Structure 1
Amino acid sequence: MTKRTSAKYKLDRRMGENIWGRAKSPVNRREYGPGQHGQRRKGKLSDFGLQLRAKQKLKGYYGDLTEKQFRRIFAEAERVRGDTGELLIGLLERRLDAVVYRAKFVPTVFAARQFVNHGHVLVNGKRVNIPSYRVKEGDVIEVREKSKQMAAILEATQLPERDVPDYLEVDHNKLTATFVRMPGLSDVPYPVHMEPNLVIEFYAQN
Structure 2
Amino acid sequence: MTKRIQSKYKINRRLGVNLWGRPKSPVNAREYGPGQHGQRRRNKPTDFGIQLMAKQKLKGYYGNISEKQFRRYYNEAVRRSGDTSENLVGLLERRLDAVVYRMKFVPTVFSARQFVNHGHVLVNGKRVNIPSYMVKEGDVITVREKSRGIPMVIEAANSPERDVPDYINVDFNKLEGSFQRTPILEDVPYPVQMEPNLVIEFYSR
TM-score range, shorter chain: over 0.9
- What SS is found at the alignment partner of 1:7? coil
Aligned-partner Cα distance in 2 for 1:125–1:158 = 24
Which residue is 1:105 aligned to?
105
Write the mapping of 1:190-201 to structure 2, written as runs, cut at 5 A.
Answer: 190-201=190-201
**Deviation (angstroms), 1:161:** 1.7
- Report what 1:85 is aligned to: 85
After TM superposition, the structure 1 = structure 2 runs for residues 43-54 of structure 1, keeping only pairs within 5 Å, are 43-54=43-54
**What letter corresponds to residue 7 of structure 1 in structure 2?**
S
Give the Cα–Cα distance (whole angstroms) in 1 for the partners of residues 126 and 109 of structure 2: 22
Which residue matches 1:188? 188
Residue 76 in 1 paired to residue 61 in 2? no
Shift of 1:121: 0.1
Q: What SS does the corresponding residue of 2:104 show, helix, strand or coil?
A: coil
Q: Distance in 2 between matches of 1:181 and 1:202?
A: 28
Q: Is the 8 A contact 1:2 1:114 kept in 2?
A: no
Aligned to 1:174: 174
Q: After TM superposition, give the deviation of residue 188 of structure 1 in Å.
A: 0.3
User: Does the residue aligned with 1:169 lie in a helix, a strand or coil?
Assistant: strand
How far residue 158 of structure 1 moved from its aligned partner, in angstroms, is: 1.8
Structural mapping, 1:20-59, within 5 Å? 20-59=20-59
Give the match for residue 159 of structure 1: 159
Q: CA separation in 2, counterparts of 1:198 and 1:72?
A: 17
| Structure 1 gap segments, 5+ residues each | none
Scaled by the length of structure 2, the TM-score of the pair is 0.98
The CA deviation at 1:84 is 0.4
Can you list the C-alpha shifts for 1:149-179, whole angstroms capped at 9, x where unaligned?
A: 0000011112222110000000111100100
Which residue type is aligned with residue 187 of structure 2? D
Query: Pairwise CA RMSD of aligned residues?
Result: 1.1
One-letter identity of the residue aligned with 1:121: V
| Structure 1 CA distance for aligned equivalents of residues 72 and 99 of structure 2 | 19
Long gaps (5+) in structure 2: none
Query: Which deviations, in whole Å up to 9, do the C-alpha atoms of 1:39-85 show, x marking residues without a partner?
Result: 11111100000000000110010001000000001100000010000
User: Is the Cα–Cα contact under 8 Å of residues 88 and 196 in structure 1 kept in the other structure?
Assistant: yes
Q: Percent identity?
A: 73
Distance 1:26 1:2 in 2: 21
1:12 aligns to what? 12
Q: What is the rounded CA distance, in whole Å, between the counterparts of 2:8 and 2:58 in structure 1?
A: 13
Contact 1:105–1:157 under 8 Å retained in 2: yes
Does the 8 A contact of 1:140 with 1:179 survive in 2?
A: yes
Q: 2:120, 2:196 → 1: CA distance? A: 31
Between 2-11 and 193-202, report the one with greater CA deviation: 2-11
Amino acid at match of 2:188: V
Shift of 1:7: 1.6
Letter of the structure 2 residue corresponding to residue 90 of structure 1: G
C-alpha contact 1:138 1:178 (8 A) present in aligned 2: yes
Q: Which amino acid aligns with 1:20?
A: W
- Between the two proteins, the alignment pairs up a number of residues equal to 205
1:100 positional shift: 0.3
- What does residue range 133-148 of structure 1 map to in structure 2 within 5 Å? 133-148=133-148
